[in-house]
Amino acid sequence: MIPEFSNPSVCMKDPQRVQDIMESMAKAGSNTVQVISDFDMTLTRFAYNGKRCPTCHNILDNSDLVSEECKEQLKELLDTYYPIEIDCSRPVDEKLPLMVEWWTKAHALLVQQRIKKDHLALVVRESDAMLRDGYQLFFDHLHEHSIPLLIFSAGIGDILEEVIRQAKVFHPNINVFSNYMDFDDCGVLRAFKGELIHIYNKREGALLNSGHFEELRARPNVLLMGDSLGDLNMADGVQDMENILKIGFLNDKVEERKQSYLDSYDIVLVKDETLVVPNGVLLYLT
Ligand code: C5P
Ligand code: MG
């Protein structure tokens, strides 16, 4: 269909279905399309030269903005809860309260550190966070074609915006749903705003933001991108959906999780650190 589908990273359970969805979306035209993407480990790289890249949270966890003692505590949380996040042998309803526990404990620790808003740009600049190869084409192409991009992240909104801004691709067609920091009058972190978004409540987050989807009513064709099975619910607020094409990055625990990813994502990209395939799909649709 498109040359990028011959890449060795690409797996599909039903290529014919993918072709049908793409043809239907291309026929409807790019002015009917919206893109909804996760951030951490979807728009950003999972690894570079064999080394793990940080999530929004990890950018802070690894920075000078938190004390050594706090670093250890955050690392302990990561070592406890990340294996649970990616364990596909445990049902979501069992994992959900544990994920709430992780986010809540981590946010409480970060708040204790009295992090200053002014310091965020520097820690992002000094971090190892990287957008996936092909990001420039991805962001610029969506902007040029006036296709709205919703970044829906259980990470930290202030941090992810900074990553995108520093890469010079934070265009006006982007909206973000995420956990935003609440700073006091002196610019010191005092809490996180609004309802917590964690890995398994993106459906609730989507429904809370119904106004956004109402505005995009004329765009019933959705390209969804994620790296977790929880990301599949990001489009639950889309109104009058006609087609949805789901692209999933399978970064970790590949053998254990491949079947469940193939069952739920239309296109699965195995250990693919690039946006080459999503870009190929977008070029086809526009
Ligand atoms: O953008 P996205 O929704 O992917 O952000 C969530 C990611 O943040 C999760 O995959 C989780 O592993 C990571 N996380 C973290 N530290 C925390 C909480 C979540 O690295 N304290
Ligand atoms: Mg993610």
pLDDT digits (tens, 9 = 90+) for 126-154: 999 999 999 999 999 999 999 999 999 99
- Atom number of ligand 1 nearest to Cα 160: 1
With a 6 A CB cut-off, is 59 part of the ligand 1 pocket? Answer: no
Whether the predicted model's global pTM rises above the 0.95 cut: yes
The alpha carbon of 58 and the centre of ligand 1 are apart by a number of angstroms equal to 8
pLDDT digits (tens, 9 = 90+) for 152-192: 999 999 999 999 999 999 999 999 999 999 999 999 999 99
The alpha carbon of 40 and the centre of ligand 1 are apart by a number of angstroms equal to 7
With a 6 A CB cut-off, is 237 part of the ligand 1 pocket? Answer: no
Distances (CA, A) of 177 to 32, 146, 154, 174: 21, 19, 8, 10
With a 6 A CB cut-off, is 38 part of the ligand 1 pocket? Answer: yes
Average pLDDT over residues 43-64: 97
Q: Quote the pLDDT of residue 1.
A: 87
Average pLDDT over residues 48-52: 96
Known catalytic membership, residue 40? yes
Neighbouring-strand partners of residue 245: 223
- Atom number of ligand 1 nearest to Cα 42: 4
- Asked if residue 57 lies in contact with residue 117, where contact means CB atoms within 8 angstroms, the answer is no
Establish whether this prediction's ipTM goes over 0.95. yes
pLDDT reading at 66 higher than 90: yes
pLDDT reading at 65 higher than 90: yes
Give the pair of three-digit tokens for residue 145: 């074609």
Q: How many CA atoms lie within 13 A of 166 on its CB side?
A: 18
Over the chain, what is the mean pLDDT?
97
- Atom number of ligand 1 nearest to Cα 106: 21
pLDDT digits (tens, 9 = 90+) for 250-268: 999 999 999 999 999 999 9
Mutate to test the pocket of ligand 1, among 39, 52, 56, 74 (most ligand atoms within 8 A of CB): 56
- Asked if residue 18 lies in contact with residue 1, where contact means CB atoms within 8 angstroms, the answer is yes
Alpha-carbon span 70 to 20, nearest angstrom: 51
Closest Cα to atom 8, ligand 1: which residue? Answer: 155
With a 6 A CB cut-off, is 155 part of the ligand 1 pocket? Answer: yes
Alpha-carbon span 85 to 186, nearest angstrom: 35
Neighbouring-strand partners of residue 133: 274
Known catalytic membership, residue 140? no
Catalytic hit among 14, 40, 133, 184: 40
pLDDT reading at 91 higher than 90: yes
AA letter at 114? R
Closest Cα to atom 14, ligand 1: which residue? Answer: 57
With a 6 A CB cut-off, is 135 part of the ligand 1 pocket? Answer: no
Alpha-carbon span 107 to 126, nearest angstrom: 21
